[in-house]
Protein backbone atom coordinates (compact mmCIF):
# COMPACT_ATOMS: atom_id res chain seq x y z
CA UNK A 1 0.00 0.00 0.00
CA UNK A 2 2.83 2.37 0.93
CA UNK A 3 4.58 1.56 -2.36
CA UNK A 4 1.42 2.47 -4.34
CA UNK A 5 1.10 5.81 -2.60
CA UNK A 6 4.75 6.65 -3.26
CA UNK A 7 4.38 5.81 -6.94
CA UNK A 8 1.28 8.02 -7.23
CA UNK A 9 3.10 10.92 -5.55
CA UNK A 10 6.08 10.56 -7.89
CA UNK A 11 3.76 10.50 -10.89
CA UNK A 12 2.05 13.71 -9.75
CA UNK A 13 5.39 15.46 -9.24
CA UNK A 14 6.55 14.32 -12.69
CA UNK A 15 3.39 15.84 -14.28
CA UNK A 16 4.07 19.18 -12.58
CA UNK A 17 7.68 19.19 -13.79
CA UNK A 18 6.63 18.39 -17.36
CA UNK A 19 4.15 21.29 -17.35
CA UNK A 20 6.94 23.72 -16.52
CA UNK A 21 7.06 26.51 -13.91
CA UNK A 22 3.81 28.02 -12.70
CA UNK A 23 3.09 31.40 -14.33
CA UNK A 24 0.53 33.70 -12.75
CA UNK A 25 -2.10 35.08 -15.12
CA UNK A 26 -1.21 38.62 -16.18
CA UNK A 27 -3.89 41.33 -16.00
CA UNK A 28 -5.29 42.56 -19.31
CA UNK A 29 -3.71 45.93 -20.23
CA UNK A 30 -6.19 48.81 -20.13
CA UNK A 31 -6.13 52.35 -21.44
CA UNK A 32 -7.40 54.88 -18.91
CA UNK A 33 -9.71 57.90 -19.15
CA UNK A 34 -9.52 60.25 -16.17
CA UNK A 35 -11.66 63.24 -15.21
CA UNK A 36 -9.77 65.45 -12.77
CA UNK A 37 -10.86 66.87 -9.42
CA UNK A 38 -10.65 70.23 -7.72
CA UNK A 39 -11.92 72.67 -5.10
CA UNK A 40 -13.76 75.93 -5.85
CA UNK A 41 -16.12 78.36 -4.12
CA UNK A 42 -19.74 78.59 -5.22
CA UNK A 43 -20.24 81.19 -7.93
CA UNK A 44 -16.80 80.71 -9.52
CA UNK A 45 -15.47 78.88 -12.59
CA UNK A 46 -13.33 75.77 -12.26
CA UNK A 47 -11.29 74.14 -15.05
CA UNK A 48 -11.24 70.33 -14.83
CA UNK A 49 -8.79 68.43 -17.11
CA UNK A 50 -9.82 65.24 -18.91
CA UNK A 51 -6.99 62.87 -19.84
CA UNK A 52 -6.29 59.59 -21.61
CA UNK A 53 -3.44 57.24 -20.69
CA UNK A 54 -2.22 55.21 -23.66
CA UNK A 55 -1.11 51.90 -22.12
CA UNK A 56 1.14 49.66 -24.19
CA UNK A 57 -0.23 46.26 -25.17
CA UNK A 58 -3.83 47.39 -25.68
CA UNK A 59 -5.49 47.03 -29.12
CA UNK A 60 -5.17 50.79 -29.70
CA UNK A 61 -2.10 52.91 -29.07
CA UNK A 62 0.95 54.72 -30.30
CA UNK A 63 2.79 51.39 -29.97
CA UNK A 64 0.44 49.75 -32.48
CA UNK A 65 0.75 49.75 -36.31
CA UNK A 66 -0.78 52.61 -38.34
CA UNK A 67 -4.54 52.25 -38.43
CA UNK A 68 -4.69 51.11 -34.80
CA UNK A 69 -3.98 54.38 -33.01
CA UNK A 70 -6.28 56.23 -30.57
CA UNK A 71 -7.83 58.74 -32.98
CA UNK A 72 -11.40 58.88 -31.76
CA UNK A 73 -13.11 59.07 -28.39
CA UNK A 74 -16.56 59.43 -26.95
CA UNK A 75 -16.57 60.62 -23.33
CA UNK A 76 -19.81 61.19 -21.42
CA UNK A 77 -19.74 62.82 -17.97
CA UNK A 78 -22.71 62.89 -15.60
CA UNK A 79 -22.60 65.57 -12.90
CA UNK A 80 -24.64 65.80 -9.70
CA UNK A 81 -26.24 67.70 -8.13
CA UNK A 82 -27.11 69.41 -11.42
CA UNK A 83 -28.46 72.44 -9.52
CA UNK A 84 -24.89 73.27 -8.43
CA UNK A 85 -23.89 73.93 -12.05
CA UNK A 86 -24.92 77.19 -13.70
CA UNK A 87 -23.22 76.33 -17.01
CA UNK A 88 -20.72 73.79 -18.34
CA UNK A 89 -18.69 73.26 -21.53
CA UNK A 90 -16.66 70.26 -22.70
CA UNK A 91 -13.97 71.15 -25.24
CA UNK A 92 -10.64 69.97 -26.63
CA UNK A 93 -7.40 70.80 -24.77
CA UNK A 94 -3.87 69.48 -24.36
CA UNK A 95 -2.67 67.31 -27.24
CA UNK A 96 -5.91 67.79 -29.20
CA UNK A 97 -6.12 71.59 -28.89
CA UNK A 98 -4.24 72.32 -32.14
CA UNK A 99 -5.75 69.41 -34.09
CA UNK A 100 -8.58 69.67 -36.60
CA UNK A 101 -11.20 66.98 -36.03
CA UNK A 102 -13.00 65.23 -38.86
CA UNK A 103 -16.02 65.20 -36.58
CA UNK A 104 -16.79 66.92 -33.30
CA UNK A 105 -19.89 67.17 -31.15
CA UNK A 106 -20.65 68.05 -27.53
CA UNK A 107 -24.28 67.15 -26.77
CA UNK A 108 -25.60 68.17 -23.36
CA UNK A 109 -28.69 67.80 -21.22
CA UNK A 110 -29.53 68.48 -17.60
CA UNK A 111 -26.92 66.71 -15.47
CA UNK A 112 -24.85 65.39 -18.38
CA UNK A 113 -22.45 66.47 -21.12
CA UNK A 114 -20.40 64.58 -23.71
CA UNK A 115 -17.51 65.16 -26.10
CA UNK A 116 -17.10 63.17 -29.32
CA UNK A 117 -14.05 63.74 -31.52
CA UNK A 118 -12.55 61.89 -34.49
CA UNK A 119 -9.21 62.83 -36.07
CA UNK A 120 -7.60 61.73 -39.33
CA UNK A 121 -4.49 59.72 -38.49
CA UNK A 122 -2.48 60.72 -41.59
CA UNK A 123 -2.78 64.46 -40.94
CA UNK A 124 -3.67 64.79 -37.25
CA UNK A 125 -2.00 61.94 -35.40
CA UNK A 126 -2.66 62.34 -31.68
CA UNK A 127 0.81 62.32 -30.05
CA UNK A 128 0.15 60.13 -27.04
CA UNK A 129 3.07 59.17 -24.83
CA UNK A 130 2.97 55.42 -24.27
CA UNK A 131 2.77 54.43 -20.59
CA UNK A 132 2.91 58.06 -19.41
CA UNK A 133 2.36 58.50 -15.66
CA UNK A 134 -1.30 58.76 -14.72
CA UNK A 135 -3.47 60.49 -15.74
CA UNK A 136 -1.67 60.40 -19.10
CA UNK A 137 -2.11 63.07 -21.78
CA UNK A 138 -4.76 65.77 -21.48
CA UNK A 139 -7.22 65.69 -24.40
CA UNK A 140 -10.04 67.94 -23.16
CA UNK A 141 -11.35 69.98 -20.27
CA UNK A 142 -14.59 70.80 -18.51
CA UNK A 143 -15.19 74.47 -17.73
CA UNK A 144 -17.76 74.54 -14.95
CA UNK A 145 -19.48 77.71 -13.81
CA UNK A 146 -20.71 76.90 -10.31
CA UNK A 147 -24.02 78.39 -9.28
CA UNK A 148 -23.75 81.18 -6.67
CA UNK A 149 -26.34 79.23 -4.68
CA UNK A 150 -24.53 75.89 -5.01
CA UNK A 151 -24.68 73.91 -1.79
CA UNK A 152 -21.19 73.42 -0.32
CA UNK A 153 -20.10 69.81 -0.65
CA UNK A 154 -19.30 67.30 -3.41
CA UNK A 155 -20.18 67.78 -7.07
CA UNK A 156 -19.58 64.37 -8.64
CA UNK A 157 -18.24 64.05 -12.19
CA UNK A 158 -18.97 60.45 -13.13
CA UNK A 159 -17.84 58.99 -16.46
CA UNK A 160 -20.62 57.01 -18.11
CA UNK A 161 -19.32 53.40 -18.53
CA UNK A 162 -21.72 52.54 -21.36
CA UNK A 163 -21.31 55.46 -23.79
CA UNK A 164 -17.61 56.17 -23.19
CA UNK A 165 -15.16 54.48 -25.56
CA UNK A 166 -11.93 54.76 -27.55
CA UNK A 167 -11.56 53.78 -31.21
CA UNK A 168 -9.31 54.27 -34.20
CA UNK A 169 -10.13 56.76 -36.96
CA UNK A 170 -12.54 54.36 -38.64
CA UNK A 171 -14.24 53.09 -35.50
CA UNK A 172 -13.10 49.48 -36.05
CA UNK A 173 -15.19 47.25 -33.77
CA UNK A 174 -12.35 44.72 -33.47
CA UNK A 175 -10.07 47.19 -31.69
CA UNK A 176 -12.70 49.29 -29.91
CA UNK A 177 -11.96 49.79 -26.21
CA UNK A 178 -14.81 49.90 -23.70
CA UNK A 179 -15.44 49.07 -20.07
CA UNK A 180 -17.59 46.15 -21.18
CA UNK A 181 -14.80 44.42 -23.11
CA UNK A 182 -12.29 45.01 -20.31
CA UNK A 183 -9.96 47.20 -22.37
CA UNK A 184 -10.81 50.54 -20.75
CA UNK A 185 -10.58 51.85 -17.19
CA UNK A 186 -12.47 54.96 -16.08
CA UNK A 187 -11.46 57.30 -13.24
CA UNK A 188 -14.22 59.75 -12.35
CA UNK A 189 -13.71 63.18 -10.79
CA UNK A 190 -15.07 65.38 -8.02
CA UNK A 191 -15.41 69.08 -7.39
CA UNK A 192 -15.54 70.09 -3.74
CA UNK A 193 -17.73 73.18 -3.58
CA UNK A 194 -16.87 75.57 -0.76
CA UNK A 195 -18.94 78.51 0.53
CA UNK A 196 -18.99 81.56 -1.73
CA UNK A 197 -16.36 84.22 -1.03
CA UNK A 198 -18.24 86.91 -2.95
CA UNK A 199 -19.12 90.09 -1.10
CA UNK A 200 -22.91 90.53 -1.13
CA UNK A 201 -24.05 93.33 -3.45
CA UNK A 202 -25.47 96.41 -1.68
CA UNK A 203 -28.58 97.89 -3.28
CA UNK A 204 -29.62 101.55 -3.29
CA UNK A 205 -31.50 101.14 -0.02
CA UNK A 206 -28.41 99.64 1.55
CA UNK A 207 -26.22 102.49 0.34
CA UNK A 208 -28.70 105.03 1.74
CA UNK A 209 -28.68 103.23 5.09
CA UNK A 210 -24.87 103.24 5.18
CA UNK A 211 -24.79 106.95 4.30
CA UNK A 212 -27.29 107.80 7.05
CA UNK A 213 -25.33 105.78 9.57
CA UNK A 214 -22.09 107.55 8.68
CA UNK A 215 -23.84 110.93 8.87
CA UNK A 216 -25.22 110.08 12.29
CA UNK A 217 -21.75 109.12 13.53
CA UNK A 218 -20.34 112.38 12.23
CA UNK A 219 -23.05 114.38 14.02
CA UNK A 220 -22.41 112.55 17.28
CA UNK A 221 -18.68 113.33 17.04
CA UNK A 222 -19.43 117.03 16.43
CA UNK A 223 -21.75 117.20 19.44
CA UNK A 224 -19.19 115.51 21.67
CA UNK A 225 -16.49 117.90 20.52
pLDDT in tens, 2-61: 444 445 544 544 444 445 554 456 688 999 999 999 999 999 999 999 999 999 999 999
Q: What is the pLDDT of residue 29?
A: 96
Q: What is the pLDDT of residue 27?
A: 81
**Rounded CA Rg of the chain:** 29
Spatial CB neighbours of 67, under 8 Å, sequence gap ≥ 6: 121, 168, 169, 170, 172
Q: What is the pLDDT of residue 197?
A: 76
Q: What is the pLDDT of residue 89?
A: 98
Pairing mode of beta strands 85-92, 31-35: unpaired
Q: What is the pLDDT of residue 145?
A: 98
pLDDT at 179 over 80: yes
Quick one: three-class SS letters along 115-170? EEEECCCCCCCCCCCCCCCCCCEEEEEEEEEECCCCCCEEEEEEECCCCCEEECCC
pLDDT in tens, 124-177: 999 999 999 999 999 999 999 999 999 999 999 999 999 999 999 999 999 999
pLDDT at 96 over 70: yes
Comparing 200 with 155, which gets the higher pLDDT?
155
Amino acid sequence: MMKFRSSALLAALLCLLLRGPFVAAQPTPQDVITVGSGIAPAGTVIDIPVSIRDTSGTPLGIDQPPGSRIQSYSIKVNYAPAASVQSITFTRAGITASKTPLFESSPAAAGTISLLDTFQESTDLLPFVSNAPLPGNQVAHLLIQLSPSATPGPLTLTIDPVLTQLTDEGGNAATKETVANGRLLLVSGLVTVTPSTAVPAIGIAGLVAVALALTALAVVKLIRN
